[in-house]
């Protein structure tokens, strides 16, 4: 059959297409339940929400793991359809089916329930600034994740790249695989070690240089005016308001129910105007990815990003490579100043310097580009310890404080400033944080490639025209969906895969200039 012929109908494929449609739809329902839980749900709805998430996730798991899915996969994989999209969808379904089928239904339910309880306990603990209120729920989540990893490890050990020493696979790898297919501790640890290696002296050098002036960011910035500016940013980036919305939540996030229905959230602090601006830019990056996923595959598993790392590369690209650049503020500082007269006299170069202030700080989500990966290294170490059983949950606050001091040079005054700052562990996400660093690295590599491909990109950005960049990224990254693996997408777009070289060049060039350092 010639490669260009339409893919033949087949009973096995029809079965799998129906399964994928349901899996996507149930996933969308889960996303809505989660979005609502963080935005509009009344407090007393929490218990039932746990039941609802557990039941929909169980239905999804059941649909994905039915024995007839395995049978149909075996059949369909042997059929030569001549359709590369069909082949890619089958690979994605095979991967998801195997990961799901190995985890018992009871464990899936227990995890969903523990996640819902974890979020509530985390909120209470954060309010009370007391980790002890969250500890039992986290211990339970770690225990369940270890059970899950045990169930999944044989799948990883069987892979060609695990030979000849499959014993090197460890439980944390099985969790990583859920966010970043193919990523392993043995590949991640050296990258993080290398990063810490050149970042530490850089942070020390910056620390010794005079800090940029940012007094104009003090004072009160009206919350409604901030909100209005975040909506202006969303519009400028090309986030389609008919295919998504922004709401408020304690911890900003993005959930895509469908390319036509993408929910981003942000938070507004009247004393910290940069918080809403950069969290909106960050989530808008995720949101643009979701809105530009291949809608013609909306009922297939191809309508998704292949990994969290590549997803994060887009939030970081728009937040940092674009949003913390001088051209960007040439375009947008006048618009911001139109809402906040106290910024009227500030020059774009001074604003650019102020939004790139490097600080040894406590809070990851407010961290600058230079120290951010040190926050990730901290979490990675602690997660690895919890999963390896070398770090007890009860020892976490002290371990956090000690490693924070070692890596970042600062020690949290209490649990809320330290170990309770992120919601991720409350969601049961272990192995997720490293994808932030992968995102930073992919972002730098992709942005460098965009600069080569789009002459005059800086001028377009300085004129407030973000469309050329968005279109390039949509074509090279977003619209690919899950047809390729993350690293292949980056390689095809940029000519190089996972590397910290572009990130190192970007950071040293930018911060060397900003802080007058010779690096």
Which positions lie near a copy of itself, rule CB under 8 A?
21-22, 24-26, 28-29, 32-33, 36, 40-49, 51-52, 54-56, 58-59, 62-63, 240-245, 247, 257-262, 298-299
Cβ proximity to a copy of itself, 252 vs 256, nearer residue: 256
How is 334-375 classified by DSSP, letter by letter? HHHHHH-GGGTT--HHHHHHHTT-----S-GGG--HHHHHHH
- The runs of H, that is alpha helices, within 66-83 are 67-78
Cβ proximity to a copy of itself, 102 vs 245, nearer residue: 245
Distance of closest approach, residue 479 Cβ to a copy of itself, in angstroms? 16
Distance of closest approach, residue 243 Cβ to a copy of itself, in angstroms? 4
The length of the chain in residues reads 519
Q: How many CA atoms lie within 13 A of 306 on its CB side?
A: 22
Distance of closest approach, residue 321 Cβ to a copy of itself, in angstroms? 28
Cβ proximity to a copy of itself, 82 vs 104, nearer residue: 104
Name the strand (E) or helix (H) holding 264: strand 261-266
Alpha carbons 341 and 96: distance in angstroms, whole number: 52
How distant is the alpha carbon of residue 431 from its chain centre? Answer: 12
Is residue 489 within 8 Å of residue 449, measured between CB atoms? no
Distance of closest approach, residue 52 Cβ to a copy of itself, in angstroms? 5
Mention every residue, 6+ apart, whose C-beta is less than 8 A from residue 474.
Answer: 288, 292
Cβ proximity to a copy of itself, 55 vs 209, nearer residue: 55
Distance of closest approach, residue 58 Cβ to a copy of itself, in angstroms? 7
436: three-class secondary structure by DSSP: helix
CA-atom Rg of the chain in angstroms: 23
Q: Which one from 117, 170, 283, 383 is the annotated catalytic residue?
A: 283
Report which of 296, 279, 241, 278 is spatially closest to residue 263, judged by C-alpha positions.
Answer: 241
Is residue 60 within 8 Å of residue 66, measured between CB atoms? no
**Active site annotation includes 283:** yes
Cβ proximity to a copy of itself, 45 vs 495, nearer residue: 45
Output the CA torsion sign for 399, 401, 404, 409: negative
The string over 450-474, giving b where at least 16 C-beta atoms fall within 10 Å of a residue's C-beta and e elsewhere, is beeeeeebeebbbeeebeebbebbb
Strand 244-248 to 261-266 pairing: parallel
Alpha carbons 413 and 404: distance in angstroms, whole number: 11
Report which of 317, 320, 288, 328 is spatially closest to residue 305, judged by C-alpha positions.
Answer: 288
Cβ proximity to a copy of itself, 259 vs 412, nearer residue: 259
Cis status of the peptide bond prior to 164, with omega within 30 of 0 = yes
Alpha carbons 446 and 329: distance in angstroms, whole number: 21
Cβ proximity to a copy of itself, 36 vs 85, nearer residue: 36
Cβ proximity to a copy of itself, 49 vs 187, nearer residue: 49
Cβ proximity to a copy of itself, 120 vs 500, nearer residue: 120
Mention every residue, 6+ apart, whose C-beta is less than 8 A from residue 13.
Answer: 7, 72, 76, 79, 81, 86
Alpha-carbon distances of 151 from 162, 171, 264, 386, rounded to whole Å? 17, 9, 34, 18
Mention every residue, 6+ apart, whose C-beta is less than 8 A from residue 290.
Answer: 244, 254, 256, 259, 262
Residues noted as catalytic: 283
């Amino acid at each position: 059959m010639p490669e260009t012929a339409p893919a033949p109908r087949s009973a096995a494929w029809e079965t799998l297409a129906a399964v994928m449609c349901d899996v996507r739809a149930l996933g969308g329902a889960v996303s809505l339940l989660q979005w609502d839980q963080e935005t509009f749900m009344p407090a007393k709805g929490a218990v039932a929400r746990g039941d609802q998430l557990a039941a929909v996730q169980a239905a999804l798991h059941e649909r994905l793991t039915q024995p007839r899915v395995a049978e149909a996969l075996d059949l369909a994989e042997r059929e030569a359809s001549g359709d590369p999209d069909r082949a890619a969808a089958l690979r994605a379904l095979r991967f998801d089916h195997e990961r799901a089928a190995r985890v018992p239904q009871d464990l899936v339910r227990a995890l969903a329930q523990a996640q819902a309880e974890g979020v509530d306990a985390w909120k209470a603990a954060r309010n009370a600034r007391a980790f002890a209120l969250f500890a039992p729920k986290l211990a339970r989540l770690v225990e369940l994740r270890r059970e899950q990893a045990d169930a999944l490890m044989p799948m990883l050990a069987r892979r060609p790249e695990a030979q000849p020493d499959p014993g090197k696979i460890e439980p944390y790898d099985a969790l990583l695989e859920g966010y970043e297919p193919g990523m392993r501790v043995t590949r991640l640890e050296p990258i993080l070690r290398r990063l810490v290696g050149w970042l530490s002296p850089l942070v020390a050098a910056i620390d010794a240089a005079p800090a940029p002036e940012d007094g104009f960011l003090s004072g009160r910035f009206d919350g409604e005016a901030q909100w209005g500016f975040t909506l202006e940013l969303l519009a400028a980036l090309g986030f389609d308001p008919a295919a998504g919305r922004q709401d408020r939540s304690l911890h900003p996030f993005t959930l895509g129910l469908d390319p036509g229905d993408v929910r981003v959230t942000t938070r507004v602090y009247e004393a910290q105007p940069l918080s809403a601006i950069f969290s909106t830019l960050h989530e808008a990056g995720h949101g643009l990815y979701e809105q530009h996923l291949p809608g013609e595959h909306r009922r297939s598993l191809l309508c998704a990003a292949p990994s969290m790392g590549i997803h994060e590369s887009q939030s970081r690209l728009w937040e940092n490579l674009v949003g913390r650049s001088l051209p960007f503020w040439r375009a947008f500082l006048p618009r911001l100043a139109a809402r906040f007269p106290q910024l009227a006299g500030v020059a774009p170069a001074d604003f650019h310097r102020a939004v790139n202030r490097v600080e040894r700080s406590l809070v990851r989500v407010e961290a600058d580009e230079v120290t951010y990966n040190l926050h990730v290294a901290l979490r990675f170490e602690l997660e690895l310890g919890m999963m390896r059983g070398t770090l007890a949950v009860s020892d976490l606050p002290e371990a956090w404080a000690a490693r924070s001091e070692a890596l970042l040079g600062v020690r949290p005054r209490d649990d809320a400033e330290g170990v309770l700052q992120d919601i991720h562990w409350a969601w049961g996400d272990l192995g997720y944080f490293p994808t932030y660093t992968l995102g930073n690295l992919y972002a730098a590599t992709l942005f460098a490639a965009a600069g080569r491909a789009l002459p005059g990109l800086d001028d377009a950005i300085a004129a407030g025209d973000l469309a050329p960049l968005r279109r390039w990224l949509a074509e090279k990254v977003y619209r690919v969906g899950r047809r390729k693996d993350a690293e292949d997408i980056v390689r095809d777009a940029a000519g190089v895969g996972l590397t910290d070289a572009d990130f190192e060049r970007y950071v040293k060039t930018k911060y060397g200039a900003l802080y007058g350092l010779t690096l």
